[in-house]
Structure 1
Amino acid sequence: MSSLTRVPRASRKQSDDRRADFEQRVLRAVEELLADGTPYTEIAVQKIAVASQAARSTFYRYFPDKSQLLIRMADLATADLFAAAEQWWETEHADHESGVVAAIGAMIAGFRQHRYLLLALSEVAAYDRDVGAYWRERVATFVDMVRARLESDRERGLIHASVDPAATAIVLTSMVERSITVAFAPSSGIADDALAAALGRAIWLVVYGDAPRK
């Protein structure tokens, strides 16, 4: 006999699908509202709810406040961005900088797609405790992955023995994060491919520029 309290699998899937659809509508609505230059803090919840075709009560059932909304939207927006970076760090790339440039290019493309939301995230993280803690933890996870890869490459003799994996991981991650944020300012005039080439070359030279040659 099936449990009277257990939710059938089909019902759970329908519920998950409804939530995913709702979150995507909210993400599109928030990004469209940010696109005209309105600061995130000035966008009312009611306006987001209307733009995403959701009742205010439905909105608050998923997002208790605007900080939690921004955190969830950032999760959705950065999924592909971090996946591109992680894919590069999981492959062999010591021989040439082209692989680094390609990975950074994919990250920049992901940032370009969600630039209004991610720029708002960077701004709000500076003063909102919950958003700031979320973003620091998100970045720290990536730093740990980079550090682990650098440690592995150093043990295998692929990078110079003097490279400090922990410090270098922080430097590289901060360089990428800050460079993309600054380059996406309206007045920078830097093309995405030029930014990818410059960042990719800088990263490769830092990690492999003085690597032992066989």
Structure 2
Amino acid sequence: MPSVTRKTQAGRAERRDQIKTRLLAAVEQLLADGQNFTELSVERLVGVAGVSRSTFYVYFEDKGELIRAWLTEIISELEVAARGWWSLSGDATWDDLRAALNRVVLVYRPHTTLMAAAFDAAAYDPAVREQVEEMMQRNIAGLRKHIRAGQSLGAVDATLPAAQTAAWLTWMAERGLHRLVRDAPEEELAILVDAYTSIVWNTLYAGARGR
């Protein structure tokens, strides 16, 4: 029989998740309206979310902790999508790569607004900055491993410096997802994915095996 303590903890966690969902929806709404996350006050945030200020501080120390809680969840989701690319075999085609990158784009696209808030918060919140940096470094490490494995198979251009190429591609993708994918109409999204695929294909694979 569950203890009263466990029931209480479960109830608090559920309540925190509910409050977090409402607050994050308010963040997205305010940012979509042109607000800047850095300048967004807790007062304004809780007003839009319909949450009292005291309730906010029961569950979150500040805006940064709210974003960190969201990042903890979304980082795993994004990494799973990225592994679809990193796990491609040595005989993968351009179409295989496109399918893998399309999954990354589709997973990232609903979260572009909050991800932008995370990068804004990283500018002044050391804890958020550390979390964002860890996310990017994990992505770079995953791609670096893929590049080196592909080079050993003759599927990736052997002349490329794996670490530096992985870093460039990862940071360029992050900016592209934020600046291009974020507000792209549906009819343009496929074109963006095609372009992204060609950039990656021509950088990593074309020189080793052709399209």
Measure, in 2, the Cα distance between the counterparts of 1:36 and 1:199: 29
Residue 187 of structure 1, CA deviation: 9.6
Amino acid at match of 2:192: L
Partner of 1:181: 178
> How is 1:59-208 mapped onto 2 (pairs within 5 angstroms)?
59-92=56-89, 94-184=91-181, 191-208=188-205
| CA-based RMSD | 3.1
Q: Is the counterpart of residue 37 in structure 1 residue 60 in structure 2?
A: no
Residue 64 of structure 1, CA deviation: 0.9
Cα distance change of structure 1 residues 187 and 101 upon mapping to structure 2, 3 Å threshold:
closer
Cα distance change of structure 1 residues 113 and 149 upon mapping to structure 2, 3 Å threshold:
same
> How is 1:13-28 mapped onto 2 (pairs within 5 angstroms)?
13-28=10-25
Partner of 1:49: 46
Measure, in 1, the Cα distance between the counterparts of 2:174 and 2:183: 17
Taking only the aligned residue pairs, the percentage that are identical comes to: 28
Q: Secondary structure at the match of 1:209?
A: helix
Residue 76 of structure 1, CA deviation: 4.0
Q: Secondary structure at the match of 2:99?
A: helix
- In the alignment, structure 1 segments of 5+ residues that lack a partner are none
Contact 2:75-2:135 at 8 Å conserved across structures: no
Cα distance change of structure 1 residues 15 and 167 upon mapping to structure 2, 3 Å threshold:
same
Measure, in 2, the Cα distance between the counterparts of 1:94 and 1:123: 40
Residue 170 of structure 1, CA deviation: 0.6
Measure, in 2, the Cα distance between the counterparts of 1:7 and 1:207: 54
- In terms of fraction of residues, the more helix-rich structure is 2
Measure, in 2, the Cα distance between the counterparts of 1:45 and 1:17: 22
Measure, in 1, the Cα distance between the counterparts of 2:10 and 2:161: 46
Contact 2:109-2:182 at 8 Å conserved across structures: no
Cα distance change of structure 1 residues 72 and 157 upon mapping to structure 2, 3 Å threshold:
same
Cα deviations by residue, 1:117-149 (Å, 9 ceiling, x for unpaired) = 222333343454333332111110111111122
Q: Under a length normalisation based on structure 1, what TM-score does the superposition of the two structures give? A: 0.80
Measure, in 1, the Cα distance between the counterparts of 2:170 and 2:19: 32
Amino acid at match of 1:34: L
Measure, in 1, the Cα distance between the counterparts of 2:18 and 2:61: 18
Cα deviations by residue, 1:39-82 (Å, 9 ceiling, x for unpaired) = 11232212322333333222123221222222323444555333
Amino acid at match of 1:205: N
Cα deviations by residue, 1:85-142 (Å, 9 ceiling, x for unpaired) = 2232124364312232223323333333223222233334345433333211111011
The alignment of Structure 1 onto Structure 2 pairs a total of residues equal to: 209
Q: Secondary structure at the match of 1:112?
A: helix
Measure, in 1, the Cα distance between the counterparts of 2:201 and 2:68: 31
